[in-house]
Amino acid sequence: MADEKGQHAHIRCRTIIEVLGKPKEHVENSIKEYVDHIKEDPELVVLSEDYSGLREQGKLWSQFVELDLVIKGTSKLISFCFEYMPSSLEVMKPESLSLSSTETSRFLNDLQARLHGVDMVVKQLKAENDFLRINMNAVIHNAVLICLKVSKLTLEQLSQITGVDIKELEIFVEKLLKENKIKKENELYCLA
């Protein structure tokens, strides 16, 4: 009977969904489309929606919406969380919910599958980032050596030619100095 009650109970929730991105207009349109998509689901009833103003966060924009909604059943509540990834969710009614062992197993397996998926993406992105970092270091290393083969240059000139920020470039130059690949004469760098 607890399974029946949980499966078919109407669950009143307050939830917050946030969108982060750019440009500003895209964020504003995306969050409205997201809410429209939620409203199309027959097992979700949106009672009210309250949009925040757009906020600039560094180079990105964010906006959130607070939804008051009714969800039909605990299975749909769980799938809502996975599908729409709300920032927060507060169950208002009923006071207690029960999950059958089947629902609990399904929830935990779905959670594990999502976690494994996220872990795989993180590992893939880390490998790609490591690859890019190694190759970018090689490109900067070679660019500095090629520039210095042509003429003696200051750190500022090297920065302008390579397009690398002077503080970041200084790290590469120091490494090349320690490896005795370049040398410094007054303020000018040249090949060793």
Condensed to tens digits (0 to 9), the pLDDT of residues 171-190 reads 989 999 999 999 999 899 99
- pLDDT tops 60 at residue 1: no
11 Cβ partners below 8 Å, 6+ apart? 70, 71, 72, 73, 74, 77, 91, 93, 94, 97
- The pLDDT value recorded for residue 55 is 93
CATH architecture designation of domain 133-191: Orthogonal Bundle (1.10)
0.75 exceeded by pTM: no
Q: What is the pLDDT confidence band of residue 4, given thresholds at 50, 70 and 90?
A: very low
Q: Are the C-beta atoms of 69 and 46 separated by less than 8 Å?
A: yes
- CATH class, 2-117 region: alpha beta
- pLDDT tops 90 at residue 3: no
Condensed to tens digits (0 to 9), the pLDDT of residues 11-47 reads 999 999 999 999 989 999 999 999 999 999 999 999 9
Condensed to tens digits (0 to 9), the pLDDT of residues 59-99 reads 899 999 999 999 998 888 988 988 888 999 999 989 888 87
Task: Look at residue 116 and give its three-state secondary structure.
Answer: helix
What is d(CA 141, CA 114) in angstroms, rounded to the nearest whole number?
Answer: 40
Domain regions of the chain by residue span: 2-117, 133-191
- The pLDDT value recorded for residue 8 is 59
